[in-house]
Amino acid sequence: MSYLDIILLSIGLAMDASAVSIAAAAAGFASKPRAIFRLAFHFGLFQAGMPAIGWVLGNSVVDYISEWDHWIAFSLLAIVGVRMIYSGFDTSEDTMSLDPSKGLALVTLSIATSIDALAVGLSFSMLEMTILIPCLLIGIITFLMSILAVRIGTFASRMVGKRVEVFGGLILIGIGTRILFSHMVLG
């Protein structure tokens, strides 16, 4: 696999994290430099780490993971998405909105958006590829694309306001549904 192939693969893997970053920023959660870094760092770290884990696991668990990975990703994204939608419709000032840029929500989203990278690591193992350079490229590209996506989401937030949190939740559910559909139908 050439470096160009790995870069294109990295961009493809970073798309889900980028969509979540747009939604988080549009909902007003990733507006400060620390939150932006936290979001991009976690997405990049998990996207870089999952292929390494997949590579280590190798062929021994590929059948088990491929049976459930899409359900896990869908469930995690749907739970966070529904909570964001609920928060977007909630007009009371007392309720705290779910902040996807920190805590358990951030870890959950990081795992959910990087499960496909685990499968990539498994395929690297089957192809007997080295893993260090692909993991670094995947992580760095995801990190950079997440920062760019936050900028896009911040712009969208200024245009639409708080209701964009509903849109962000729908995006998360849509990503989960796409993952589920692609594994069940396209197989």
Question: What are the structural domain ranges in the chain?
Answer: 3-184
Residues 101 and 175: beta-carbon distance below 8 Å: no
Residues 179 and 74: beta-carbon distance below 8 Å: yes
Q: How far is CA 135 from CA 45, 54, 117, 140, 150, in A?
A: 9, 11, 9, 9, 22
pLDDT given for residue 95 in this prediction: 41
pLDDT in tens, 127-150: 778 899 999 999 999 999 999 999
| Between 101 and 94, the higher pLDDT residue | 101
61 secondary structure, DSSP code: G
The length of the chain is 187
pLDDT given for residue 96 in this prediction: 40
Residue 34, phi then psi, degrees to nearest 5: -65, -45
Q: Which residue has the tokens 């990190």?
A: 143
Query: What band does 78 get if pLDDT is binned at 50, 70 and 90?
Result: confident
* Helix spans in the chain (H): 3-26, 33-57, 62-89, 103-126, 132-160, 164-184
Structure-block tokens of residue 7: 């870069």
pTM of the model: 0.74
| Between 19 and 133, the higher pLDDT residue | 133
58 secondary structure, DSSP code: G
Cα–Cα distance measured from residue 127 to residue 5, given in angstroms and rounded to the nearest whole number: 14
